[in-house]
Amino acid sequence: MDSFIDLFSGIGGFHIALKQKGLNCVFASDIDKAASTAYKRNFGLDSHSDICQIGNAEIPQHDILCAGFPCQPFSRSGKRKGLNDDRGRLFYEIVRIAKHHKPMLMILENVRTILTIDNGKIKKEIYKSIKNLGYHLDHVILNASEFGIPQKRERVYFVAIKNDCPLKFASPKPNKKKRYLRDILVKGNHSNLIVNRTDIVIEKHGVQDKALKPIRIGYLNKGGQGERIYSVNGHAITLSADGGGVGHRTGLYYVDNKVRRLHIDEAKQCMGFDKDHIVSDGISGYRQLGNAVIPTMISHIYDNILSST
């Protein structure tokens, strides 16, 4: 295998992982102009296009089809309309392209709730659609916290292998690497990220215990979503594209006796990107990271696709 396509490419999580494995990206597509601008700056490849408007013949032949297809229709924080949502139906664009090009392998990523919403009907439809194309399909739920990424981020990874390919998939084993939010903090006063309010409550001062998960130590207001405060001796909560509340998109953390959101460079590292990886300025950059696929996790998936011969 030496080539792949990157559908719903965002800022390039799949691209980073597979390029590091020596593969060449021959096509990328994302309807979001800002994300595509960042993608081109990082990789020199134009990804700005609506996949629904791209014909099969316009897509080069490839060995691997990669897609972190839109998760909002399946997310707890979304309306969970599933495949009835226009974005959810983009799954069938994957089916269309795979039916025409018949890649050896497909690697897909989404939120774990895609497996259970609508009483499991979405999962059944995914399995049925891909198996009907002539593929064996497996899926695994992995938490990035167990693989050296300082963020609790549970995602489901689908691996589809063409029936006539001598490959098999084994679930990656967590390495439990001891890396914490404290290890990636960016120095500075970060005044624009600090939350100054009179209703901040720190329930657990001086927490020294470390854990490969978020450690909640306080709250503000009523402690709802985006109002909980966490220790830097643990992990970040799941970064989101559109999460609300005071700690929108990153969550709130107690750093040097102050409560603040994460710096963009900290958010990058919580997603397994280097600090020099380019994202858009301001809120758009956080949104792009919240929508991204973690490169490290794709590397683990790829490394566990083994030859059966």
Q: Which phi and psi (to 5°) does residue 298 adopt?
A: -65, -35
d(CA 99, CA 152): 35
User: Contact at 8 Å (CB) between 300 and 172?
Assistant: yes
Q: Which residues contact 167 (CB under 8 A, 6 or more apart)?
A: 104, 105, 161, 305, 306, 307, 308
State yes or no: is 52 an active-site residue: no
DSSP code of residue 155: E
Label residues 107-127 b or e (16+ Cβ within 10 Å = b).
Answer: bbbbbbbbbebbeeebbeebb
Q: Which residues pair with 74 in a beta bridge?
A: none
Burial class (CB in 10 A: 0-12, 13-18, 19+), 260: buried
Amino acid at the residue 308:
S
For residue 185 the two structure tokens come to 């903090």
N-to-C CA span, the chain: 15
- Which of these is catalytic: 25, 66, 71, 270? 71
What is the spatial distance between Cα 194 and Cα 261, in angstroms, rounded to a whole number? Answer: 7
**Do the Cβ atoms of 44 and 105 come closer than 8 Å?**
no
Task: Enumerate the active-site residues.
Answer: 71
